[in-house]
Amino acid sequence: MSVVTTIAQPVPTVRLDELPPRVCAVVRSVATDDEDTNRLKTLGVCVGRRVELVRAGNPLILKIFGSRLGISAELAARVRVEICQPGHCAMREDHPA
């Protein structure tokens, strides 16, 4: 009997301002002061939330829960996201959630 051990590889993340347009991602970390963190949470940008970059720039436009919102590129640079794998994104209607 053989035992196979797998080691989980860390999942790569990118800054939200580096996310390509029309790509879905999950927020993994927010590195801001308390005031900016609360502002982002109020807008719906928090750890575990799925977001999609609609338009890059300053401000950049995000899609969250079907709504669009703008945040500064400076603030977006402090948010790290994990890009969703093709076929496994709850924001897309063309494949299962």
Q: Residue 33's pLDDT is what?
A: 86
The CATH number given to whatever domain includes residue 33 is 2.30.30.90
Number of domains in the chain: 1
Q: Residue 65's pLDDT is what?
A: 86
- Domain containing 66: what range? 14-83
Please report whether residue 79 resides in a domain.
yes
Query: Residue 62 pairs with which residues in a beta bridge?
Result: 53, 69
Query: How far apart (Å, rounded) are the C-alpha atoms in residues 34 and 97?
Result: 32
User: pLDDT digits over 47-83, tens only?
Assistant: 999 999 999 999 999 999 889 999 999 999 999 999 9
- DSSP state letter for 79: E
Please report whether residue 89 resides in a domain.
no
Please report whether residue 97 resides in a domain.
no
* 74, 57 contact by CB (below 8 A): no
Provide the 3-class DSSP secondary structure of residue 63: strand
Query: How far apart (Å, rounded) are the C-alpha atoms in residues 79 and 62?
Result: 12
Please report whether residue 91 resides in a domain.
no
pLDDT of 2 over the 70 cut = no
* pTM, 2 dp: 0.76
Query: Residue 53 pairs with which residues in a beta bridge?
Result: 62
Q: What percent of the chain has pLDDT over 90?
A: 55
